[in-house]
Amino acid sequence: MNRFIPHIIAVIVVATTTIIISREFRVSKIPNGGKFQCANCHTNPGGGGARNNFGQAVDIRVTPNGGEDFWSATLASQDSDGDGFTNGQELGDPTGSWRPGQPDPGSFSSVSNPGDFNSRPPATDVAETVMPTSYRLMNNYPNPFNPSTKIVFEIPQSENVSLRIYNINGELVRTIVNGNLPAGHYEKEWDGYNESGNSVTSGVYIYRLTAGKFDRSSRMILMK
């Protein structure tokens, strides 16, 4: 039986080495990847296991011999975790121009995890580095919420903007924004209070953003 032990050890060593090399290879090919290591690509925060959307996109671009750069404008422009920030915005390289060996792009403190919906770059940093190219109203978060939620939107140019909350009967509950805003990325909080300063009851509410000709509404749920 003992004669099998060296073979078993050899298999374990080779397998472990392969895993470590593949991990280091992928992390080194992601801008600022060192901050989150394997958690950038895997659903398990410690690495390994199933891949998140970002990890799947990364994996497609990694060749078996490791000789190809996968980070690209295409991958940078995708929003793998659906939080309203592109992978490039989250990793500090919005255009996908960074290449391995170059200094880390962006601000290290702003780097977030493109595979985690709850990990987002600070809005102020994103607004400074990336100017939106279109009008967007993102899903509020959290949702359902209690007691407050954030509503995220982008405008590509200076515009008269209104952001208002309505109840399910279409009655105005609260005006969050009403005025001219410069182009940028915005996160506005609604604290669950109406214009009279009273806390509103649980239920479905509608937030409506108008900016120039852009007019979009979405629903959210206050659950106390």
Q: How far is the CB of 53 from Ca ion (least distance, A)?
A: 9
Tokens at 222, concatenated? 């206050």
> 136: helix, coil or strand?
strand
The two beta strands, 203-211 and 149-155, are unpaired
Q: How far is the CB of 88 from Ca ion (least distance, A)?
A: 9
User: Which residue, 79 or 159, has its beta carbon nearer to Ca ion?
Assistant: 79
Q: How far is the CB of 120 from Ca ion (least distance, A)?
A: 7
User: Which residue, 138 or 163, has its beta carbon nearer to Ca ion?
Assistant: 138
Applying CB under 5 A, the span of 60-68, 78-86, 131-139, 151-159 interacting with Ca ion comes to 78-86
Applying CB under 5 A, the span of 5-13, 54-62, 73-81, 144-152 interacting with Ca ion comes to 73-81
Tokens at 93, concatenated? 């390289």
Distance (Å) of CA 100 to CA 29, 57, 190 = 6, 17, 41
Q: How far is the CB of 195 from Ca ion (least distance, A)?
A: 33
How far is 68 from 31, CA to CA, in rounded Å?
A: 15
Closest CA to 112 of 100, 102, 123: 123
93 binds Ca ion (CB under 5 A): no
Report the first-to-last Cα separation within the chain, whole angstroms: 64
Applying CB under 5 A, the span of 45-53, 80-88, 93-101, 168-176 interacting with Ca ion comes to 80-88
> 175: helix, coil or strand?
strand
Using CB under 5 A, pick the residue from 70, 77, 78, 79 that binds Ca ion.
79
Interface residues with Ca ion (CB under 5 A)? 79, 81, 83, 85
